[in-house]
Amino acid sequence: MKRKNSEKALYPEFEQLNMPSIEKEILQWWKENNVFERSISERSEDKRFVFYEGPPSANGKPGIHHVMGRTIKDLFCRYKTLQGFRVERKAGWDTHGLPVELNVEKQLGITKADIGTKISVEEYNKHCREDVMRYTDLWNELTEKMGYWVDLKNPYVTYENDYIETLWALLKKLYEKGLLYEGYTIQPYSPAAGTGLSSHELNQPGCYRNVKDATAIAMFKVVRSKESDFLFKTESDDVRILAWTTTPWTLPSNTALAVGSGIEYVLVKTFNAFTFKPIQVVLAKDLMAQYFPKENEELDFESYKEGDKKIPYKVLQSFKGSDLKDIRYEQLLPYTQPEDGDAFRVIIGDFVTTTDGTGIVHIAPSFGSDDFRVAKQNGIGSLTLVDRQGKFVDAVNDEVFPLQNRYVKEDYYTAEEKQAEYEYQKMILSEKGVIPNLKSFMSVDDLIVLKLKLENKLFKTEKYEHSYPHCWRTDKPVIYYPLDSWFIKTTAVKNRLIELNKTINWKPAHTGEGRFGQWLENLVDWNLSRSRYWGTPLPIWRNNSGEEKCIGSVAELKLEIEKAVQAGVSKPTEITDLHKPIVDEIVLVSETGKPMQRVPDLIDVWFDSGAMPYAQWHYPFKNENVFKQNFPADFIAEGVDQTRGWFFTLHVLAVALFDSVAYKNVVSNGLLLDKNGNKMSKRLGNVIDPFDTIENYSADATRWYMIRNSDPWDNMKFDIEGLQEVQRSLFGTLYNTYSFFALYANIDKPAKAPNVLVENKNFVELDRWILSRLQTLLKETTAFYEDFEPTKAARAIEKFMDEDLSNWYVRLNRRRFWKGEMSEDKQAAYDTLYFCLNTVAQLMSPVAPFFSEWLFGNLHGNSFQSTSADTVNSIHLSLLSKANNSFVNSDLEERMELAQRACSLILSLRKKEKIKVRQPLNKILIPVLSNTQEQQFKKVESYILSEVNVKEIEYISDASDIVKKKIKPNFRELGKRAGQKIKAVQQAVAAFTQEDISRIEREKQYTLNLDGEEFLLQLNEVEIQTEDIPGWLVVSDAGLTVALDVTITDDLRKEGNAREFINKVQNLRKDKNFQVLDRIKVSVVKNGIFEEALNQFYDYISNEILAKQISLVETLDTADEVQMNEEMLQVKVEVV
């Protein structure tokens, strides 16, 4: 920024504030002097504050929301440094995972199916490795420009061999603890592609599509037993449970029915619409109306004939779902039976609703995750009658319908296959006498529905449109299917996870207790497996004989390879990389001498990042001490979307491996939205570019705006206008305040203030007041930072700067700086202002590291030119001033507040009467409540008088009867005692006369008569305020009343004119660019009004305007015209 005054001047002055330009200078200076490195190395190793950086993925460009997240990280690290802690910050990069793969595929124009054919796995992974660091430069640039201090020179990178080796070591440790196992779950599976799909892949646009499927309400025949007896009246009753499905092909695999325990069900007597046989069906009461029109209830059972459209029905009884528990039913399609478990029962499912269907859910544990879970809980076995190709297995061997070996989804057929199948269906169904001449192809669903219909097992069927997931690679429908996966048994440590979570300080607390806590309560095992190419391989080798081995290090792997080579099952292999395909080519040997292959799975990338506390140091292979010093973290921060991501995996691994938390404090920040509350997206064109923002408005203004605007954990609406406001109000005010200080300090050349606040007898009331406020601010702000409440800290600083320092201290003190020679009093004022600026700079430095550095540098004679390492004096190397309690004076703060309020009231009165402040007035009247209050006022009286330009204040005590008062109940106090009588008391009090008010004030109590009942009202149960002073101009607010005498006497008028004249001349001086200290000569054309004023106030006037001479003349050749109240004056001013 361009300097206005000479290099020799004590304090630099500038043309105008340009924050982006300041930041460039400071950045350069930081770099040249290694300030960041020093801010760590100069702090003791014994006093650490441990921070973990959550690794971003560098294959996407950084956005403005990253500035938000990183500001939070940065500010607490800087704050702790300011408190003397050593805060090391190792950067990190997340490099594995699907987004990287997708990016590469997009660039190369290939799909996953091409891997291994068009492109080798080796080559593919090479591209991933290069692509993932594509935007590192951009990230580094943003990191630097936004002032985020993190060690970019030694980052951890998750694809590096050392990193992966740690992951293997951890996996092996889990394996040995029995926490790593293979199991199976129901996952989205694409038979066409032969692979499982992640939820991420399923959430690709276009994957969920509306399709029309044949749905069926099947009738499950109840077996009469102890549990079901209540449903039967006679031996011949045919009781059926109704269950709806949109996937009839799963019905052969049905092994249970689920009901909601609290849902109300009914037993309804009716006839089957297809077979016309009498039946009794069970379904949810709420859903009856969908199947049984109300008017049919009246129909006569006796007169019902087969084929009648209207079917009579009658509700026989109703009961709760829990009554149905354990009722057995006949298997619907008994092709085969499950080998394990106790199937074909009614069970309770928490997920059952009555929004559609029948309120009873058909359970096929192999083809639904809810089904699987609830079946397992209830000990129900499963049937998996579909193979991996999506075809019914041989066991589905129907005598009539061709189901065996048929695809369960018709989309899996090719056109030719479908035609052929249709021909076959036509033939067989005709042969069996089911359909003489089949018109079109029937899907498996259709066939099953038809079969049920014929067997009196179908209640209803219809086409139903619903959204169904499709495979993004093959476009064919997905089915849910049991697949093998490797899991971490997080459920085994669930209780410790919950316990230790309670020791973590979450900001905000509800994320920890609510979102995260709930998640832990409903924990399922962590599915680690991913069928991908670019990621950390699972280091498990095994063979078909059930032998397996988990490898925990490169050394171990080498040893095993050697063994395998000796056993003759493998060739020697050089291990250069721990990724696919190299590790897949390695064959190891088992204990019994058989070859073992690596299981093909890669692991979830979240394991990579969750393991960073260990892997960033290559622990346990290296750096054991470093690791121990840096575990667990004192502080981490990321977006709230990481709650079940990074926050979770860090926690799980630390608890499972070390029985410890991974972090003690965690701040989760909300989302950054555009100014209308929409998510920023390229599509909407509302993305804010972080580089532009920093370039145009500075990093500090951006950082400050983000922090001060709303709590980090709330979503933030980002608005450039808000940023400008911050720039103008906070930084502008600070800059102005500093400029003011520099301007006069360069003239007066005061001694440099002490670095620590010490007692000085020359401090005046105002100095002591602002210093007291400053100490309070110091304590408050420190407490807010300690509590991870940066928004409260920033707002407290703003308030101090604006209301206290600039708007009161400096404004009331201006004369002290600009009048007269250097003095002890002036020195005290300079010291005070210097100390305030210095401390404010420190307090704001975590949030605004550049501006505070600049301000600090200006105060300490640092021009940011020096590159001499010995003289580096950075605010970020300094230690935060300690609060000095002896300077806190709450009486003083209280009376200054009284003064501020009184001034505000008086100014509003002047305003109302249109009397400008330059017109002196005689008297203010203030009714005071106590002697103490009067004393308080008297101590700040001079400030009030000069601020509002009035000659004297008269205090009137309670006793005087000129003051009119009003009274109202103090509800908080009165409510405690009066309770329901409060309304009556309120009415009685409202009726008080001035006399009554005086009496309760005098006697401290008052007996009320409430409808014949006495109530003794205490003085503290009412609030008495002054309302009016007859004959005066009065205003009151919140218990403070002031009255102003607005009479302008002749003398006052003259004085007012004198001041008006001074003001005009001062303006002329400025217009004419006179120096502040120039002496002048003034000539004024004769004017009666002015002459009066001049005669009486000659000395005062000339002193104020630094005039050697003021003369009245008849005429002037050249003169300026100035308006002095009513009169126009001809004036000439010259420097002498």
Partner RNA sequence: AGUCUCGUAGCUCAGGUGGUUAGAGCGCUACACUGAUAAUGUAGAGGUCCGCAGUUCGAGUCUGCGCGGGACUACCA
Q: Report whether 964 contacts 994 (CB < 8 A).
A: yes
**How many chain residues are in contact with RNA, going by CB under 7 A?**
97
Alpha helices in 749-880 (DSSP H): 765-786, 790-799, 811-818, 824-844, 849-859
Nearer to RNA, 91 or 652 (CB): 652
The dihedral over CA atoms of 11, 13, 17, 20, expressed in degrees to the nearest 10, equals: -60
3-state helix, strand, coil in the chain (%, to 5): 45, 20, 35
Among 361, 408, 848, 1129, which residue sits at the site for RNA (rule: CB under 7 A)?
Answer: 361
Tell me: does residue 206 bind RNA (CB under 7 A): no
Residues of this chain, 986-1015, that bind RNA according to CB under 7 A: 986
Q: Report whether 501 contacts 516 (CB < 8 A).
A: yes
Tell me: does residue 721 bind RNA (CB under 7 A): yes
We find the least distance from the C-beta atom of residue 1067 to RNA, in angstroms, to be 5
Among 504, 645, 1092, 1119, which residue sits at the site for RNA (rule: CB under 7 A)?
Answer: 645
Alpha helices in 192-304 (DSSP H): 199-202, 288-291
Specify whether 172 is catalytic: no
Tell me: does residue 1075 bind RNA (CB under 7 A): yes
Specify whether 642 is catalytic: yes
Q: Report whether 21 contacts 15 (CB < 8 A).
A: no
Tell me: does residue 518 bind RNA (CB under 7 A): yes
Q: Report whether 472 contacts 204 (CB < 8 A).
A: yes
Tell me: does residue 1053 bind RNA (CB under 7 A): no
Q: How far apart are CA 712 and CA 789, in angstroms?
A: 9
Q: Which residues, listed in sequence order, are joined to residue 466 by a DSSP beta bridge? A: 211
Tell me: does residue 922 bind RNA (CB under 7 A): no
Question: Under DSSP, is residue 556 helix (H, G, I), strand (E, B) or coil?
Answer: helix
Of 187, 425, 642, 933, which one is the catalytic site residue?
642
CA distances (Å), 55 to each of 155, 522, 657, 795, 1007, in order? Answer: 9, 27, 21, 30, 72
Among 393, 434, 454, 743, which residue sits at the site for RNA (rule: CB under 7 A)?
Answer: 743
Contact region for RNA (CB under 7 A) — 151-159, 244-252, 331-339, 387-395? Answer: 244-252
Tell me: does residue 1074 bind RNA (CB under 7 A): yes
Among 569, 626, 917, 1046, which residue sits at the site for RNA (rule: CB under 7 A)?
Answer: 917
Tell me: does residue 911 bind RNA (CB under 7 A): yes
Tell me: does residue 153 bind RNA (CB under 7 A): no
Residues of this chain, 680-709, that bind RNA according to CB under 7 A: 709
Tell me: does residue 373 bind RNA (CB under 7 A): no
Q: Which residues, listed in sequence order, are joined to residue 283 by a DSSP beta bridge? A: 266
Long-range CB pairs of 843-846 (<8 Å, 24+ gap) are 843/777, 843/778, 843/781, 843/793, 843/797, 843/880, 844/704, 844/794, 844/797, 845/78, 845/82, 845/875, 845/876, 846/74, 846/75, 846/76, 846/78, 846/79, 846/82, 846/785, 846/790
We find the least distance from the C-beta atom of residue 734 to RNA, in angstroms, to be 9
Among 83, 922, 1066, 1083, which residue sits at the site for RNA (rule: CB under 7 A)?
Answer: 1066
Q: How far apart are CA 555 and CA 172, in angstroms?
A: 14
> Which structure tokens are listed for 1012?
């014949």
Contact region for RNA (CB under 7 A) — 358-366, 617-625, 826-834, 1050-1058? Answer: 358-366
Tell me: does residue 485 bind RNA (CB under 7 A): no
Specify whether 916 is catalytic: no
Of 682, 761, 914, 976, which one is the catalytic site residue?
682
Nearer to RNA, 59 or 737 (CB): 737
> Which structure tokens are listed for 966?
């009003």
Among 6, 980, 993, 1115, which residue sits at the site for RNA (rule: CB under 7 A)?
Answer: 980
Nearer to RNA, 165 or 604 (CB): 604
Tell me: does residue 675 bind RNA (CB under 7 A): yes
Q: Report whether 438 contacts 429 (CB < 8 A).
A: yes
Nearer to RNA, 358 or 425 (CB): 358
Tell me: does residue 212 bind RNA (CB under 7 A): no
For residue 532, count CB atoms less than 10 angstroms from its CB and return exposed for 0-12, middle for 13-18, buried for 19 or more. buried
Nearer to RNA, 691 or 818 (CB): 818
Tell me: does residue 861 bind RNA (CB under 7 A): no
> Which structure tokens are listed for 710?
């709303």
Tell me: does residue 592 bind RNA (CB under 7 A): no
Tell me: does residue 733 bind RNA (CB under 7 A): yes
| DSSP structure class, residue 877 | G
Specify whether 854 is catalytic: no
Among 255, 590, 649, 739, which residue sits at the site for RNA (rule: CB under 7 A)?
Answer: 739
> Which structure tokens are listed for 158?
């998750």
Of 606, 617, 769, 1032, which one is the catalytic site residue?
606
Residues of this chain, 1080-1119, that bind RNA according to CB under 7 A: 1105-1106
Specify whether 679 is catalytic: yes
We find the least distance from the C-beta atom of residue 317 to RNA, in angstroms, to be 22
**314-320 and 264-271 beta bridge pairing:** antiparallel
852: Cα separation from own chain's centroid:
26
Tell me: does residue 469 bind RNA (CB under 7 A): yes
We find the least distance from the C-beta atom of residue 298 to RNA, in angstroms, to be 30
We find the least distance from the C-beta atom of residue 1132 to RNA, in angstroms, to be 15
Contact region for RNA (CB under 7 A) — 121-129, 406-414, 498-506, 804-812? Answer: 804-812
User: How many C-beta atoms surround the C-beta of residue 544 within 10 A?
Assistant: 9
Contact region for RNA (CB under 7 A) — 113-121, 245-253, 992-1000, 1111-1119? Answer: 245-253
We find the least distance from the C-beta atom of residue 651 to RNA, in angstroms, to be 14
> Which structure tokens are listed for 576?
């250069």
Q: Which residues, listed in sequence order, are joined to residue 187 by a DSSP beta bridge? A: 481
Nearer to RNA, 152 or 982 (CB): 982
Of 679, 912, 916, 983, which one is the catalytic site residue?
679
Question: Under DSSP, is residue 1090 helix (H, G, I), strand (E, B) or coil?
Answer: helix
Nearer to RNA, 617 or 830 (CB): 830
Q: How far apart are CA 295 and CA 98, in angstroms?
A: 58
Residues of this chain, 2-41, that bind RNA according to CB under 7 A: 16
As annotated, the active-site residues are: 55, 94, 606, 642, 646, 679, 682
